[in-house]
Structure 1
Amino acid sequence: MKKAALIGLAGMTLAAAVQAQTNVAIYGIVDAALVGESGGSGGRATKITSGAGAASRIGFRGSEELGDGMSAFFTLETGAKIDSGELDASNTIFNRQAFVGLKTRAGSVALGRQYTPYHLMLVQIVDPFGTGYAGTSKNLLPDNGTNVRTSNTITYLSPSLRGVSVNLAYSAGEQTTLSAGRQYGGSVAYENGPLALTLVYNAKNTDVAATGVNHDIGRNLLVGGNYDFKFVRVYAGYEIDKGFNSATLGNANNPYGGVRPTASTDGRDLILGLRAPVGPGTLMFSTQRKDDRTRLNQDATEWGIGYLYPLSKRTGLYAAYARIHNKNGAGYTVANNTESGTGNTGYNLGIRHSF
């Protein structure tokens, strides 16, 4: 009896120890907004949109301590449309993120579908709207498609050393020619007190080996940062886009009629902005400029403003508005976190809850 009791006690102790070493969490965001758009050839549109501020999602993340400073981790995350209850991408399950990796004292390596260093630096350092709401950097900067996330990707994230960290990513095209369809990039970030700086490079090959389709490499080089003055945090970013597919349009369906917009293959992007505590909430503002240096000279300028009003640590209301001035047939539209938009003006009135 004593032996059986000791074995049972040892089993419970071991189970408790395993449970303490393994951590699995369910998390998510539920975001819905009234969205208005105007200025496009389709006229005015008013609708309920899921994820105008931050894409609605549910995810599972976990880690397990393996000893000697090593741990395993994973994330599985799917998007959902709150307005209709559907998945936000058909024929997918974990379309937003799906990866597994190992973390050591030398850094973390992960394999699967993941965010690009380019997108992460826009969210974390350069864009005061965090790539969401009507004032998002997606309005003029190419934060769309595979510039946001890639499949078949291996990443390395270094530990922070005196405020400096490195994030590298390589996405295999998985074609008969090794270089065809691949994408790679990296960022160097520096964060120390109120200052955050970053330098990001992104390159993608859109060749199709099976059909012999060949293009030049699309490249993005972004430098930016922000500084917290306590009463206001200021943001700035400057980007060079060059090559085929380097700066795809969010809405390429000729949203204004007339001259069909063409994605720039040689452009310069500028974004300036701020976040400031105003009353019980946070004011956001940004202005952007697209300098298209191709013969079409399809330039654009934009400004956006927004306000976040917290109801609790996890729930908040928001309002945002943005306007774009297109030149020479440019086709840039006011987007939000999940939609590319249909016109040159747009607003969001929404609520977001995180768990």
Structure 2
Amino acid sequence: MQKKIIALAIAAAVSAPAFADSNVTIYGVANVSYDMTQSGAVANGFSNNKVSSNTSRIGFKGNEDLGDGMSAVWQIESLIQIDGQTAAGNTLANRNTFAGLSSASAGTVLMGRHDTPYNISNRKYDMFADGLADNRSIMGGGTSAAASFNGRQPNVIAYISPAMSGFTGAIAYVAGAEGQTLSTQTKGSAWSMAALYGNGPISANFGYEVHTAGSAPGTLGLGAGLKETAWTISGGYKVAEFEINGIYEKTDDNFAVGANALGHRAYYLSGKYNFGSNAVKLAYANAGANAAANTDADQITVGFDHSLSKRTTVYALYTQLSNGAAGAYALSGNGTGAPAAAVSGVGGKPSAFSFGMKHTF
């Protein structure tokens, strides 16, 4: 079924007899790599070799049976820097952290900080997620646009429906969290929603999100009346031997006096072939130009995985991002949990090799 759907995994857990009483589960991911990047800048390029933590994380989650099919659920999840570096936002509970109520028949309501339904609808299809080749260099607005749709938001209240014949729905409201607001100021907010389907080897999702800016100071206080929207459709086919995925998205905004300055189309295709304990992977992403000419970009990635066990994998990959003459996308730190790994500048072609190990617990 759908990976990381806000509460589906929790709903499955709370229905198991082993979790009938209150409990705490410790889980996490240790994903460390050695990255060699080239900025690919048109002028004054640079290279960088470093160890990356690749959004390694540790979490605590649990539930309490309240009777009549109802459970209280909670989770606290934090980014950890295995490489010993300190990154922005490297604080306790900076990842999916929430509390809520869950019912197998009525669904789940939660409040806290969490991936949006839009983000959840397509993140499972990123073949190189949580690493240097993470597709958020291009998708979700990428690093060349102000929009950020494939993300995690604070101040979230969300509802997730029960699964019915493979279908699940999710909707979330994000409060702007402004400070003191004058009567003459407007508040910002966001809505995100998704329809999710999974049946055997086939899955297909749809996501929609709108950000409404306000004039009050705060996380969404950009200016009254400004909006940015995005919709995405994604799907995949997965069997034991291979997996293929695709994502398409369209973003729009009215930032420049009603003009769609940053709106553009983007798509992502990926495939994986498994043989024994090994797998070869290939992905291609493309972002079309926005209102300005030659602001397009594409990215291609090839990789190899070798499984040492069910929970431990070693891997190698190569990725290159190519900007149009006026494009300013970059291999970003979305997947590594750190600032941009290889900022290229306008028209640049950043590239990288990455060799690493991933262990889940």
Q: TM-score higher than 0.5 here?
A: yes
- Give the match for residue 351 of structure 2: 345
- Give the match for residue 259 of structure 1: none
The alpha-carbon deviation at position 192 of structure 1 amounts to 0.8
**Which residue of 268, 272, 295 maps to 2:269?**
272
The alpha-carbon deviation at position 353 of structure 1 amounts to 1.6
Q: Which amino acid aligns with 2:266?
A: D
- Give the match for residue 168 of structure 2: 165
The alpha-carbon deviation at position 20 of structure 1 amounts to 5.2
Q: Which amino acid aligns with 1:75?
A: Q
In 2, distance between residues paired with 1:42 and 1:80? 30
Where structure 2 has 5 or more consecutive residues not aligned to the other structure, the ranges are: 1-16, 143-147, 345-349
The alpha-carbon deviation at position 302 of structure 1 amounts to 1.3
SS in 1 for 2:65: strand
In 2, distance between residues paired with 1:24 and 1:81? 23
Q: Which amino acid aligns with 2:199?
A: N
RMSD over aligned Cα, in angstroms?
2.5
Q: Which amino acid aligns with 2:278?
A: G
Q: Is the 8 A contact 2:320 2:352 kept in 1?
A: yes
SS in 2 for 1:306: strand
Judging changes above 3 Å, is the alpha-carbon distance between structure 1 residues 335 and 310 closer, same or farther for their aligned structure 2 residues?
farther
Q: Is the 8 A contact 1:135 1:305 kept in 2?
A: no
The alpha-carbon deviation at position 61 of structure 1 amounts to 0.2
**Which residue of 298, 302, 310 maps to 1:313?**
310
SS in 2 for 1:122: helix
Judging changes above 3 Å, is the alpha-carbon distance between structure 1 residues 317 and 216 closer, same or farther for their aligned structure 2 residues?
same
Q: Which amino acid aligns with 1:100?
A: A
Judging changes above 3 Å, is the alpha-carbon distance between structure 1 residues 218 and 287 closer, same or farther for their aligned structure 2 residues?
same
Q: List per-residue Cα deviations over 1:232-276 (Å, max 9, x = no partner).
A: 21111111011168xxxxxxxxxxxxxxxxx96110001111122
Q: Which amino acid aligns with 1:186?
A: M
**Which residue of 148, 155, 158 maps to 1:152?**
155
- Give the match for residue 241 of structure 1: 251
- Give the match for residue 138 of structure 1: 136
Q: Is the 8 A contact 1:80 1:86 kept in 2?
A: no
Question: 1:183 and 2:190 equivalent?
Answer: yes
- Give the match for residue 115 of structure 1: 115
Q: Is the 8 A contact 1:79 1:87 kept in 2?
A: no
In 2, distance between residues paired with 1:79 and 1:212? 28
- Give the match for residue 44 of structure 1: 47
Q: Is the 8 A contact 1:81 1:88 kept in 2?
A: no
Q: List per-residue Cα deviations over 1:284-310 (Å, max 9, x = no partner).
A: 211111111313330111111122211
Judging changes above 3 Å, is the alpha-carbon distance between structure 1 residues 341 and 285 closer, same or farther for their aligned structure 2 residues?
same
In 1, distance between residues paired with 2:351 and 2:85? 27
Q: Is the 8 A contact 2:122 2:205 kept in 1?
A: no
- Give the match for residue 255 of structure 1: none
* Identity fraction in percent: 28
The alpha-carbon deviation at position 113 of structure 1 amounts to 0.7
- Give the match for residue 72 of structure 2: 72
Structure showing greater radius of gyration is 1
- Give the match for residue 102 of structure 1: 101
Q: Which amino acid aligns with 2:24?
A: V
Q: Which amino acid aligns with 1:171?
A: V
In 1, distance between residues paired with 2:211 and 2:116? 11
What's the TM-score once normalised by structure 1's chain length? Answer: 0.82
In 1, distance between residues paired with 2:140 and 2:355? 25
The alpha-carbon deviation at position 193 of structure 1 amounts to 1.1
In 2, distance between residues paired with 1:97 and 1:236? 25
Runs of 4+ in 1 over 6 A off after TM superposition: none
Q: Is the 8 A contact 1:274 1:285 kept in 2?
A: yes
Judging changes above 3 Å, is the alpha-carbon distance between structure 1 residues 167 and 300 closer, same or farther for their aligned structure 2 residues?
same
Q: Is the 8 A contact 2:212 2:226 kept in 1?
A: yes
- Give the match for residue 300 of structure 1: 297
Where structure 1 has 5 or more consecutive residues not aligned to the other structure, the ranges are: 1-16, 246-262
Judging changes above 3 Å, is the alpha-carbon distance between structure 1 residues 42 and 297 closer, same or farther for their aligned structure 2 residues?
closer
Q: List per-residue Cα deviations over 1:161-194 (Å, max 9, x = no partner).
A: 1111011111111333896321111110111111
Q: List per-residue Cα deviations over 1:26-80 (Å, max 9, x = no partner).
A: 11111211011101344111111111xxx11111100111111100100001111
Q: Is the 8 A contact 1:101 1:109 kept in 2?
A: yes
